[in-house]
């Protein structure tokens, strides 16, 4: 009786021991982190590289090729970085839409009754998926787009000109006057212009990510039981109608989570823009880094920006995922 | 063809600083203390950052060896420190990578046609320690002859190709802003991409150091179809560099390059250096020559280098004039005049302070 009431010593007490172990591990971890941080600050100070953000306000004194935000060389670095960020976002957003459309079409085509279409879709996925994106970008830019004719030899349709320097479109300019592309001093000018750099990047990103999206879509559609197809067909629905109204809504539950990671990799891959001369966030950061020498600050900004972009994409996709899940009634 | 290793530059840099020991905290006392010099001796190899794709400066030939003025500078330093010009490990770096590679200690020095500027030199900027300038250059513009472009004004509204992360990029912006010329800068990460876009006809002009334009033109399929505009947009003193914070290593680098200049001034060449050493050893009254060649005095020791580092260096690469002629001079494919790069005695800017 007295034995069972005897207090258990703490070194054998299973209620205490885990806390002690956790405490020791936690404390050691904190100490190591503190040591590393202290070392970091001390060495950075010694090397004169301690974080400083004043350079953001200095004039950038470099130009950028294209920008949605007004920019010139006398504006500060933060403005240049903003230009890069906006350019990156532009490529990412258009790329997301394009890759989704192309990928969905190709994923659906791999279930088509038309053998040629089915094989084309399979071929596209297998070829594009297995070639590094950087090579594809260089191919689109240097081989395809730079082979376009220039000046008066450019492809011309009413309101549209496609030349080596870009795609020029007619649009309203200065109020409501409709303005078409025109050749001034051997250079095309138009109210709306997509540079070849942007076009090459976009083509590369869309075809590359499209292949992965196609696979996700194909997997999603394949996950829908065959009976659903047969039920739809027995109701007299055509292939496209059964796909649209019966199969796709169910497939979306499988597709959406898979799309999330493809979208995130598209956003990250957009930083390869620098290879084809498009001024994205990474390109501007690189110039900034070289002019200011603030490597750590610039990279922290870069890492932070891409992290936020990717987390935003994830958040939106999680929202979409909630929408397409089965709602119990 | 590098996908995106530069993402990773920041991480090792941070790690290096976080984990970096405190070995050099108490570096004081007699003699020459240099972490870098002992590191180089320890690994018995000099790691030298070069461009690697620029004929005349540093170019990896089909036989797997590097040639050029910058590559020879690496060789000269290896000969001075390790006694053997072959003990160099070259690292090809693009313009954007070079300073991070130097700061993180991935390379011991840069001989990579790098322009000396205030912001690169200063501790508050890139914090780099520059040696003596080995090539005085200026920024130029190359255009296809067929384009009919004669001056910067003719480039109004046109795209111009430029390598990103260079002084060239900034000078271009400055000059064009001065003359209010509207232009589109197309920036590429590597020289290869820049010149490929130019040759692909995307840009009407490409801008860089005049020597680099001449070098790249020499490797074009049809060099005669391209011409340099008669404008010099900037001063570009191309200078080897080491990292701030190791003054002894910076001094060793500096005086090795000065030795190349001084040797030309004294008429010591790769061919006659052995004879000159014998001559200095025989004649005790030729004090200047004896000190320079390390026969008497302790210049080598003061720098933390072997006593005979000068004759070793000259025997390895020759004097500055020989290096110039061999790599970029009238006898080379680049066919550049000495111009500003003559010795000061001939009216140029190449000048070594006294070895005393």
Q: Quote the tokens at residue B181.
A: 């010329």
Which of B106, B162, B185 has the most A C-beta neighbours within 10 Å, making it the best mutation to test the interface with A?
B185
Chain pair A-B, CB pairs under 8 angstroms: 138
Cβ-defined contact of B9 to A291 (cutoff 8 Å): no
d(CA A209, CA A95): 9
Above 90 in pLDDT, residue A325?
A: no
- Closest residue in chain A to residue B244, using alpha carbons only: A47
Determine the pLDDT at residue A207: 96
pLDDT tier, A117 (very low <50, low <70, confident <90, very high otherwise) = very high
Determine the pLDDT at residue A57: 92
d(CA B208, CA B198): 12
Q: Quote the tokens at residue B168.
A: 């060239």
Q: How far is B223 from chain A (nearest CA, A)?
A: 20
Q: Quote the tokens at residue A289.
A: 């880094």
Lowest mean pLDDT across A36-40, A208-212, B96-100: B96-100
Q: How far is A238 from chain B (nearest CA, A)?
A: 46
Q: Nearest Cβ partner of B173 from A62, A197, A303?
A: A62
Cβ-defined contact of B10 to A65 (cutoff 8 Å): no
Give residues 171 to 200 of A whose Cβ lies within 8 Å of B.
184-187, 196-197
Above 50 in pLDDT, residue B24?
A: no
Q: What is the pLDDT of residues B117-151, one digit of tens each?
A: 998 898 877 889 999 999 999 999 999 999 889 99
| Superfamily of structural domain A77-132+196-324 | MetI-like (1.10.3720.10)
Q: What is the pLDDT of residues A221-279, one digit of tens each?
A: 999 999 999 999 999 998 889 888 999 889 999 999 999 999 999 999 999 998 899 99
Instruction: Residue A165: list chain B partners with CB under 8 A.
Output: 159, 202
Cβ-defined contact of B157 to A187 (cutoff 8 Å): yes
> HSE-up of B104 (CA within 13 Å, CB side)?
21
- Closest residue in chain A to residue B191, using alpha carbons only: A275
Determine the pLDDT at residue A47: 66
User: Average pLDDT for residues B289-317, to the nearest whole number?
Assistant: 94
Under a CB-based contact definition with an 8 Å cutoff, are residues A138 and A153 in contact? no
Above 50 in pLDDT, residue A211?
A: yes
Strand ranges for chain A from DSSP E: 155-157, 160-163, 166-169, 171-173, 177-179, 182-184, 187-189, 192-195
Any idea which residue has 């003359």 for tokens? B179
Q: How far is CA A150 from the centre of its chain?
A: 31
Cβ-defined contact of A274 to B188 (cutoff 8 Å): yes
pLDDT tier, A173 (very low <50, low <70, confident <90, very high otherwise) = confident
Task: Report helix angle A77-109 to A248-269, nearest 10.
Answer: 140
The string of DSSP codes covering A223-245 is TS-HHHHHHHHHTT--HHHHIII
Q: Residue B242 forms beta bridges with which residues?
A: B129
Above 50 in pLDDT, residue B29?
A: no
Q: What is the pLDDT of residues A59-91, one digit of tens each?
A: 888 888 888 888 988 899 999 999 999 999 999
Determine the pLDDT at residue B325: 95
Q: Containing H/E element for A318? A: helix A295-324
Cβ-defined contact of A290 to B164 (cutoff 8 Å): yes
Instruction: Residue B174: list chain A partners with CB under 8 A.
Output: 61, 73
Q: Residue B143 forms beta bridges with which residues?
A: B227
User: Phi/psi at B126 (nearest 5 deg)?
Assistant: -75, -20
Instruction: Residue A63: list chain B partners with CB under 8 A.
Output: 172-173, 176, 183, 185
d(CA B62, CA B272): 30
Q: How far is A277 from chain B (nearest CA, A)?
A: 5
Which of A39, A71, A299, A304 has the most B C-beta neighbours within 10 Å, making it the best mutation to test the interface with B?
A299
Most confident residue range from A10-14, A38-42, A298-302: A298-302
Which of B183, B200, B246 has the most A C-beta neighbours within 10 Å, making it the best mutation to test the interface with A?
B200
Determine the pLDDT at residue B3: 43
Domains (range + CATH), chain B: 7-12+31-134+239-356 (3.40.190.10), 138-229 (3.40.190.10)
Under a CB-based contact definition with an 8 Å cutoff, are residues B93 and B51 in contact? yes
Any idea which residue has 């590098």 for tokens? B2
> Comparing B49 with A112, which gets the higher pLDDT?
B49
Determine the pLDDT at residue B17: 61
Q: How far is A70 from chain B (nearest CA, A)?
A: 14
Q: Nearest Cβ partner of A165 from B18, B159, B165?
A: B159
Under a CB-based contact definition with an 8 Å cutoff, are residues B91 and B101 in contact? yes
Q: Please, which residues have CB within 8 angstroms of residue A128's CB and are 6 or more apart in sequence?
A: A136, A207, A208, A210, A211
User: Phi/psi at B274 (nearest 5 deg)?
Assistant: -65, -40
Q: How far is A257 from chain B (nearest CA, A)?
A: 27
Q: Residue B207 forms beta bridges with which residues?
A: B141
Q: Please, which residues have CB within 8 angstroms of residue B163's CB and are 6 or more apart in sequence?
A: B94, B95, B169, B187, B188, B189, B190, B191, B194, B208
Name the residue ranges covered by the structural domains of chain A.
2-46, 77-132+196-324
pLDDT tier, B10 (very low <50, low <70, confident <90, very high otherwise) = low
d(CA A155, CA A162): 5
Lowest mean pLDDT across A7-11, A217-221, A286-290, B78-82: A7-11
> From residue A78, how far is each of A56, A60, B206 by CA, in Å?
5, 8, 28
Q: What is the pLDDT of residues A175-185, one digit of tens each?
A: 677 777 887 77
- Closest residue in chain B to residue A197, using alpha carbons only: B186
> From residue B269, how far is each of A209, B311, B318, B346 by CA, in Å?
60, 10, 5, 18
Cβ-defined contact of A36 to B125 (cutoff 8 Å): no
Average pLDDT taken over every residue of chain A: 89
Q: Nearest Cβ partner of B187 from A277, A293, A296?
A: A277
Determine the pLDDT at residue B8: 47
Instruction: Residue B196: list chain A partners with CB under 8 A.
Output: 142
- Closest residue in chain A to residue B7, using alpha carbons only: A299
Q: How far is A58 from chain B (nearest CA, A)?
A: 13
Determine the pLDDT at residue B37: 94
Q: Nearest Cβ partner of A286 from B20, B165, B184?
A: B165
Determine the pLDDT at residue B31: 58
Above 50 in pLDDT, residue A116?
A: yes
Q: What is the pLDDT of residues B31-82, one digit of tens each?
A: 577 899 999 999 999 999 999 988 999 999 999 999 999 999 999 999 999 9
Instruction: Residue A287: list chain B partners with CB under 8 A.
Output: 164-165, 169, 187
Q: How far is B153 from chain A (nearest CA, A)?
A: 12
Q: How many CB atoms lie within 10 A of CB A131?
A: 12
Span between the terminal Cα atoms of chain B, in Å: 48
Judged by a CB distance cut-off of 8 A, whether residue A34 touches chain B is no
Judged by a CB distance cut-off of 8 A, whether residue A49 touches chain B is yes
Cβ-defined contact of A48 to B6 (cutoff 8 Å): no
Q: Nearest Cβ partner of B189 from A48, A132, A274?
A: A274
Cβ-defined contact of A293 to B185 (cutoff 8 Å): no
* Residue (of B28, B18, B125) closest to A43 by Cα position: B18
Above 60 in pLDDT, residue A328?
A: yes
Cβ-defined contact of A48 to B244 (cutoff 8 Å): yes
Q: How far is B252 from chain A (nearest CA, A)?
A: 21
Which of B118, B187, B196 has the most A C-beta neighbours within 10 Å, making it the best mutation to test the interface with A?
B187
Judged by a CB distance cut-off of 8 A, whether residue A65 touches chain B is yes
Percent of chain A past pLDDT 90, that is, above it, reads 55
Cβ-defined contact of A146 to B18 (cutoff 8 Å): no
Determine the pLDDT at residue B306: 94
User: Phi/psi at B208 (nearest 5 deg)?
Assistant: -170, -175
Instruction: Residue B165: list chain A partners with CB under 8 A.
Output: 286-287, 289-290
Instruction: Residue A279: list chain B partners with CB under 8 A.
Output: 187
User: Average pLDDT for residues B242-269, to the nearest whole number?
Assistant: 94
d(CA A209, CA A258): 12
Judged by a CB distance cut-off of 8 A, whether residue A270 touches chain B is no
Judged by a CB distance cut-off of 8 A, whether residue A265 touches chain B is no
d(CA A48, CA A219): 54
Q: How far is B225 from chain A (nearest CA, A)?
A: 18
d(CA A277, CA A240): 41
* Residue (of B130, B115, B97) closest to B12 by Cα position: B97
Average pLDDT taken over every residue of chain B: 88
pLDDT tier, B28 (very low <50, low <70, confident <90, very high otherwise) = very low
């Amino acid at each position: 009786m007295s034995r069972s009431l005897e207090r258990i010593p703490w070194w054998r007490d299973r209620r205490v021991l885990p806390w002690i172990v956790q405490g020791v591990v936690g404390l050691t971890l904190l100490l190591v982190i503190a040591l590393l941080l202290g070392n970091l600050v001390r060495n950075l100070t010694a090397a004169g590289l301690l974080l400083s953000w004043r350079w953001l306000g200095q004039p950038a004194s470099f130009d950028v090729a294209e920008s949605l935000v007004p920019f010139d060389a006398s504006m500060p670095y933060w403005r240049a970085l903003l230009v890069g960020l906006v350019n990156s976002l532009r490529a990412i957003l258009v790329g997301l839409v394009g890759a989704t459309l192309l990928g969905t079409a190709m994923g659906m085509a791999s279930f088509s009754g038309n053998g040629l279409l089915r094989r084309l879709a399979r071929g596209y996925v297998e070829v594009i998926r297995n070639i590094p994106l950087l090579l594809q970008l260089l191919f689109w830019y240097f081989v395809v787009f730079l082979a376009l004719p220039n000046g008066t030899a450019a492809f011309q349709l009413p309101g549209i000109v496609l030349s080596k320097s870009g795609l020029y479109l007619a649009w309203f300019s200065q109020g409501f006057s409709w303005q078409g592309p025109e050749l001034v001093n051997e250079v095309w000018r138009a109210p709306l212009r997509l540079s070849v750099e942007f076009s090459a990047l976009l083509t590369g990103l869309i075809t590359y990510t499209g292949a992965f999206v196609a696979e996700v879509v194909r997997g999603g559609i394949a996950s829908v039981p065959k009976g659903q197809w047969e039920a739809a067909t027995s109701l007299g629905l055509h292939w496209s109608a059964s796909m649209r109204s019966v199969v796709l809504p169910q497939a979306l539950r499988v597709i959406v989570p898979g799309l999330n990671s493809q979208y995130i990799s598209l956003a990250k891959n957009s930083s390869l823009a620098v290879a084809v001369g498009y001024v994205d966030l990474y390109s501007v950061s690189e110039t900034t880094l070289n002019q200011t020498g603030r490597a750590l600050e610039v990279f922290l900004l870069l890492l932070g920006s891409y992290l936020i972009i990717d987390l935003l994409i994830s958040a939106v996709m999680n929202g979409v995922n909630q929408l397409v899940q089965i709602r119990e009634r | 063809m590098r996908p995106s290793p530069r993402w990773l530059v920041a991480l090792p840099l941070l790690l290096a600083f976080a984990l970096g020991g405190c070995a050099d905290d108490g570096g004081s006392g007699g003699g020459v203390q240099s972490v870098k010099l002992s590191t180089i001796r320890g690994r018995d190899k000099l790691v030298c950052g070069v461009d690697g794709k620029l004929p005349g400066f540093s170019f990896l030939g089909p036989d797997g060896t590097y040639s050029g003025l910058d590559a020879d500078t690496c060789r000269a330093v290896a000969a001075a420190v390790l006694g053997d010009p072959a003990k160099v490990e070259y690292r090809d770096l693009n313009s954007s990578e070079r300073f991070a590679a130097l700061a993180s200690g991935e390379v011991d020095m840069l001989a990579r046609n790098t322009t000396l500027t205030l912001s690169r030199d200063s501790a508050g900027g890139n914090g780099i320690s520059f040696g003596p300038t080995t090539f005085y250059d200026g920024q130029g513009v190359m255009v296809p002859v067929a384009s009919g472009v004669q001056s910067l004004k003719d480039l109004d509204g046109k795209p111009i190709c430029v390598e990103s992360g260079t002084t060239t990029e900034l000078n271009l912006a400055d000059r064009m802003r001065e003359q209010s010329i509207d232009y589109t800068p197309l920036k590429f990460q590597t020289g290869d991409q820049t010149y490929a876009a130019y040759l692909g006809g995307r840009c009407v002009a490409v801008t860089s150091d005049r020597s680099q334009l001449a070098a790249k033109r020499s490797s074009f399929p049809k060099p005669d179809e391209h011409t340099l505009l008669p404008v010099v947009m900037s001063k570009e003193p191309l200078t080897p560099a080491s990292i701030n914070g190791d003054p002894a290593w910076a001094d060793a680098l500096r005086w090795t390059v000065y030795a190349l200049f001084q040797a030309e001034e004294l008429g010591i060449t790769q061919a006659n250096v052995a004879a000159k050493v014998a001559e200095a050893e025989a004649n005790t009254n030729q004090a200047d020559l004896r000190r320079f060649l390390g026969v008497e005095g302790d210049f080598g020791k003061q720098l933390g280098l072997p006593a005979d580092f000068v004759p070793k260096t000259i025997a390895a690469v020759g004097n500055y004039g020989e290096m110039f002629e061999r790599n970029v001079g009238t006898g080379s494919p680049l066919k550049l005049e000495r111009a500003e790069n003559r010795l000061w005695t001939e009216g140029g800017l190449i000048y070594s302070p006294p070895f005393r």
